[in-house]
Structure 1
């Protein structure tokens, strides 16, 4: 089984952190490859960044289809391009916010999200409304550390653990969700310090993608997630106009 974990930003150092987290949960016979987007922003911290990251995500999925990849993980907490990637891929595509929030609802009655910048909290709330039962997400809290500073802050684990502990108390939550792929290596450390489950979306999404492939389940090709109809594209996106890869028969 081959799982491709796509880092939607162009920062290779973050891809290395993501890959380590994904490989740590891969089962026997599962090959995990993490790839850095070939185009787009160095980090994703705005709607503008997120929109411009999507072509790179789709290019990575299209290349994976040619290489015979079985499943994909979109390793950014905004889940950029997730629905579009599902239209292209033969196998399942899982977003890390999606997987983390679903996992958190299995571990406690309510969860709180600890993320990077305050300006991204609205997007996290939007995704919680999509992925979790009403009231399951108790709060979204920002540590105010830019994404590209995460691996440069020697006190990052302390800062995240302190914020997570305060958030649990303020929100009445039972579980913490880490709201950035760049925090993937903090889950165990923070969990040990605050005494509750801490969910890293990269690991959760990788394990979920692996499970779906094992079960023989794929995105339904009926309706919304059928391959997009071919049509001309212009300008910088002209290369995306080629006919979508045929996905063959898929489980409904």
Structure 2
């Protein structure tokens, strides 16, 4: 089995760290391929960044290199479109982390990077039916590409969130925090969920069960049509995938 973990930003260092965490949790016989797009933002910290990360992300998914896919950004950019394209199941790290955290206590807190991303985390909690479990979303105010080296700031934000929200669990709101999960949990004293590892295991389970995204409705392959300009090659991908069962 091969699972491709796609970091939607273009940071090679962050992609390598995500890949190490994913391989550490994957089961026997699972190959983890960690990739990032050839085009897109260096980090995703705004709606603009997120929107412009999606074409590169979808190009990676459309390459069809794996049995299942993980989108390793807490905004879950392009998740619905990726599910239309992929031959196997696709999990976003925010959805995977929130659903996992809901199994571990009555409520969880999300701790993300910049304050401006908190609204997006709340949007996703509502979308995934997790708003009743989410007791708060807060930020450590560290940029995405610096968060791996800022564990003290993340720990402090997690401690504050647990106390203020009376939460049982912390959800890490950035894939760049994945390498520090165990240390954060040890220092904060409650279960800490990293979406990268949660998503890898969820995709692995779906593949082992022979399950994939249903193509019976809106997640059917996109209808082929012409695209123009820099997106010209993306129109042919719908044609390639139109026979997906």
**How would you bin the TM-score normalised by the shorter chain?**
over 0.9
1:187 aligns to what? Answer: 181
TM superposition shift of 1:31: 0.3
CA distance in 2: counterparts of 1:133 and 1:113, whole angstroms = 11
TM superposition shift of 1:247: 5.5
TM superposition shift of 1:172: 1.2
Q: Aligned to 1:232, what secondary structure does the other structure show?
A: coil
What pairs with 1:76-95 in structure 2 (closer than 5 Å)?
A: 76-95=73-92
2:114 aligns to what? Answer: 117
1:129 aligns to what? Answer: 126
Q: Aligned to 1:76, what secondary structure does the other structure show?
A: coil
1:3 aligns to what? Answer: 3
Q: Aligned to 1:224, what secondary structure does the other structure show?
A: coil
1:20 aligns to what? Answer: 20
Q: 2:67 aligns with which of 70, 73, 76?
A: 70
1:108 aligns to what? Answer: 105
TM superposition shift of 1:132: 3.6
CA distance in 2: counterparts of 1:247 and 1:175, whole angstroms = 42
The alignment yields a C-alpha RMSD, in angstroms, of: 1.0
Is 1:204 matched up with 2:198?
Answer: yes
TM superposition shift of 1:245: 2.1
Is 1:96 matched up with 2:96?
Answer: no
Q: After superposition, give the CA deviation of every residue in 1:200-225 in whole Å (9 maximum; x if it has no partner).
A: 00000000000000111100001110
CA distance in 2: counterparts of 1:139 and 1:62, whole angstroms = 35
TM superposition shift of 1:248: 3.8
TM superposition shift of 1:70: 0.2
What pairs with 1:30-45 in structure 2 (closer than 5 Å)?
A: 30-45=30-45
2:159 aligns to what? Answer: 165
Contact 2:8 2:57 in 1 (8 A): yes
CA distance in 2: counterparts of 1:75 and 1:221, whole angstroms = 23
Q: 1:245 aligns with which of 236, 241, 244?
A: 241
TM superposition shift of 1:135: 2.0
Q: Aligned to 1:244, what secondary structure does the other structure show?
A: helix
Q: After superposition, give the CA deviation of every residue in 1:205-252 in whole Å (9 maximum; x if it has no partner).
A: 000000000111100001110000011101110010101325643xxx
Q: 1:177 aligns with which of 156, 171, 181?
A: 171
Contact 2:223 2:242 in 1 (8 A): no
Normalised TM-score (structure 1)? 0.94
CA distance in 1: counterparts of 2:157 and 2:214, whole angstroms = 40
CA distance in 1: counterparts of 2:121 and 2:243, whole angstroms = 31
Change (3 A) 1:174 1:145: same
Q: Which ranges of structure 2 fall in alignment gaps of 5 or more residues? A: none
CA distance in 1: counterparts of 2:32 and 2:116, whole angstroms = 32
CA distance in 2: counterparts of 1:56 and 1:247, whole angstroms = 23
